[in-house]
Amino acid sequence: MPPPTRRGLSRVEAADYIGVGASKFDAMVCDGRMPKAKKIDGRRVWDVRALDRFFDALPGGDESGHNAWDE
């Protein structure tokens, strides 16, 4: 997926950007693993830069718990 051409993403776009469904994204926002939206008038948008920072902070990324079945 190419990087977004805009900085602000809708809920569905933000979920797609990090590779999860919208309901999982909602849960991650609620538990603090993903950032809250910015409000522009009545619209909620997620900042791509904030999504990147929160995504980088998620656990994992090493191969210590690698399981071939997960591929």
Q: Is residue 68 part of a domain?
A: no
Say what the pLDDT of residue 65 is: 60
Q: Where are the beta strands (DSSP E) in the chain?
A: 8-9, 38-40, 43-47
Q: Is residue 43 part of a domain?
A: yes
| DSSP character at residue 26 | H
Give the mean model confidence (pLDDT) for residues 28-48: 97
Q: Is residue 62 part of a domain?
A: no
At residue 8, φ and ψ (nearest 5 deg) are -100, 130
Give the mean model confidence (pLDDT) for residues 27-31: 98
Q: How far apart are CA 46 and CA 38, in angstroms?
A: 6
Give the mean model confidence (pLDDT) for residues 21-29: 98
Say what the pLDDT of residue 27 is: 98
Percent of the chain predicted with pLDDT > 90: 75
23's torsion region: left (phi>0), alpha (psi -120 to 50) or beta?
A: alpha
Q: How far apart are CA 68 and CA 58, in angstroms?
A: 21
Q: Rounded to two decimals, what is the model's pTM?
A: 0.79
Structural domain for 49, as ranges: 8-56
